[in-house]
């Protein structure tokens, strides 16, 4: 059974945990389901990085906070991602943000993105989180000559105007280091990766220690307004809360709440992990130490050498959830790996899984609070509702930052610059929402030709 946000009715507690390398190497703690009626000042719906980080922020501010998740810890992206710690979110580069809104906004956005990485590192240190952080080079690789030139120009621009240091690598320099095919140059930056499932376990531990009440295997199935704020119902309980923070991201059910319905597009990304590479395979491929990669394709491939010498390789997944585990999907990704590293021919695929990333219509994530209730009950209504989502596949550091910002916005306690594109407007609604899959299918067909 595979959850498909545009087809299924919602995440059920009966769905199995993902069959990921992360789940094979870490056992998540079991957290209790909700079997009663609860009152809480704040209710967070969704217990991935966004939701748990919001709960941590609220608990640190001594607020009364309850969190519900529909399944087990790490059921969503938190247990399925590649573990790359990236500065950035959404699909717009700093240069694209600069082109659209000017350098001042781009610098302020860089502050938010870097702030996310800083928050992650700070929490790892402050709460002694054991998440297997591994530092090593992060290489951006150009898949054709045009992209090599653009990558080079962009690296120079970022170094000059945004103080992002990087080293340019010519095709010759790259092939001297790696036995890699189909690459026309690249840029090396400082990189770091972690064990994403351990991270969500550690966030849950910290949230609990700080006083948040967590319930898992408890899907929110209805959100209704009440005199006190909201009443949220689960299959065997309910939470009455003044404020609701929606942190369900790409796993949001297709009909959930007006504020998020049709506001994002869940798109699948898939990952496989090989058997440990032999000494000879590592020497021949050049993948000798932990390092991470991303290419410049529109449908990017991303890969990293894991601490135990396996290669994790990811890219776009199937259009429909039901096709996620098809042999053809696995073969497509495996072939992409072999196109880059022919010397790994024959290596076994030990794990394969997929997850949903949340794509916003304008490629910009949003952290938004609707504190202007309307309708007949407006005068009596005292609560507000907000959400953080649309990270477009980049959220290991940013989701937790977004959760913190969402909680701060709800409490009205922070000096957030609400004029930034992240905060100043709600997510745009997808027009022709039902045609999203058709459009995605066409895009994949087109990309196949364009990216040859």
Residue 271 interacts with ligand FAD (CB under 6 A)?
A: yes
CB 80 within 8 A of CB 26: no
For the record, the structure tokens of 132 come out as 């297997």
Q: Which of residues 76-95 bind ligand FAD (CB under 6 A)?
A: 76-78, 80-84, 86
From the list 177, 166, 390, 184, the residue with the least C-alpha distance to 283 is 177
Which value, to the nearest 10 degrees, does the dihedral of the CA atoms of residues 403, 408, 409, 411 take? 130
Q: Pick from 63, 166, 248, 274: which binds ligand FAD (CB under 6 A)?
A: 248
Residue 246 interacts with ligand FAD (CB under 6 A)?
A: no
Residue 69 interacts with ligand FAD (CB under 6 A)?
A: yes
Only one of the segments 46-54, 105-113, 342-350, 371-379 lies at the binding site for ligand FAD (rule: CB under 6 A); that segment is 46-54
Least Å distance between CB 167 and ligand FAD?
A: 22
What are the Cα distances from residue 193, in Å, to 132, 180, 291, 314?
Answer: 8, 21, 9, 14
What are the Cα distances from residue 355, in Å, to 35, 77, 191, 352, 390?
Answer: 29, 6, 23, 11, 14
- Find the radius of gyration of the CA atoms of the chain: 22
Least Å distance between CB 193 and ligand FAD?
A: 7
Least Å distance between CB 358 and ligand FAD?
A: 7
Only one of the segments 56-64, 222-230, 248-256, 413-421 lies at the binding site for ligand FAD (rule: CB under 6 A); that segment is 248-256
CB 158 within 8 A of CB 312: no
Least Å distance between CB 341 and ligand FAD?
A: 19
CB 160 within 8 A of CB 102: no
Using DSSP's 3-state secondary structure scheme, residue 280 falls into helix
- Which of 80, 184 has the CB closer to ligand FAD? 80
Q: Pick from 6, 10, 17, 95: which binds ligand FAD (CB under 6 A)?
A: 10
Only one of the segments 25-33, 43-51, 157-165, 404-412 lies at the binding site for ligand FAD (rule: CB under 6 A); that segment is 43-51
Q: Where on the chain is the footprint of ligand FAD (CB under 6 A)?
A: 10-11, 45-51, 68-71, 75-78, 80-84, 86, 219-220, 247-253, 269, 271, 314, 355, 357, 391, 393-396, 399
């Amino acid at each position: 059974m595979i959850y498909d946000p545009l087809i299924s009715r919602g995440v059920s507690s009966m769905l199995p945990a993902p069959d990921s390398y992360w789940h094979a190497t870490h056992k998540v703690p079991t957290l209790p389901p909700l079997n009663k009626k609860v009152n809480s000042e704040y209710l967070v719906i969704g217990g991935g990085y966004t939701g748990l980080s919001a709960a941590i922020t609220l608990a640190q501010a001594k607020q009364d906070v309850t969190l519900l998740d529909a399944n087990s810890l790490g059921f969503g992206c938190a247990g399925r991602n590649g573990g790359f710690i990236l500065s950035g979110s959404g699909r717009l580069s700093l240069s694209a943000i600069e082109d659209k809104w000017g350098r001042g906004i781009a610098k302020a956005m860089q502050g938010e993105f870097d702030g996310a990485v800083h928050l992650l590192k700070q929490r790892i240190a402050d709460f002694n989180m054991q998440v297997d952080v591994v530092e090593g080079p992060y290489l951006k690789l150009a898949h054709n000559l045009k992209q090599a030139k653009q990558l080079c120009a962009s690296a120079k621009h970022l170094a000059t105007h945004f103080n992002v240091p990087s080293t340019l690598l010519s095709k010759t320099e790259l092939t001297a280091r790696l036995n890699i095919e189909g690459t026309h140059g690249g840029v090396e930056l400082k990189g770091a990766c972690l064990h994403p499932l351990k991270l969500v376990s550690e966030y849950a531990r910290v949230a609990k220690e700080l006083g948040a009440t967590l319930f898992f295997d408890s899907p929110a199935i209805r959100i209704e307004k009440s005199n006190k704020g909201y009443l949220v119902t689960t299959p065997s309980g309910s939470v009455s809360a003044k404020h609701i923070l929606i942190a369900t991201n790409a796993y949001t059910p297709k009909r959930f709440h007006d504020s998020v319905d049709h506001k994002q597009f869940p798109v699948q990304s898939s990952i496989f992990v090989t058997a440990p590479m032999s000494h000879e395979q590592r020497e021949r491929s050049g993948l000798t130490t932990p390092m991470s990669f991303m290419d410049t394709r529109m449908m990017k491939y991303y890969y990293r050498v894991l601490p135990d010498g396996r290669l994790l390789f990811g890219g776009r997944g199937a259009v429909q959830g039901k096709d996620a585990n098809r042999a053809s999907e696995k073969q497509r990704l495996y072939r992409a790996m072999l196109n880059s590293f022919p010397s790994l021919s024959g290596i076994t695929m030990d794990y394969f899984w997929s997850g949903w990333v949340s794509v916003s219509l304008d490629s910009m994530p949003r952290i938004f609070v609707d504190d202007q209730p309307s309708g007949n009950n407006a005068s009596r209504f005292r609560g507000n509702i907000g959400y953080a989502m649309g990270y477009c596949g980049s959220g290991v550091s940013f989701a937790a930052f977004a959760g913190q910002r969402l909680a701060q916005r709800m409490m009205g306690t922070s000096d957030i610059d609400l004029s930034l594109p992240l905060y100043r407007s709600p997510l745009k609604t997808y027009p022709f929402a039902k045609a999203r899959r058709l459009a995605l299918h066409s895009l994949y067909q087109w990309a196949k030709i364009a990216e040859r």
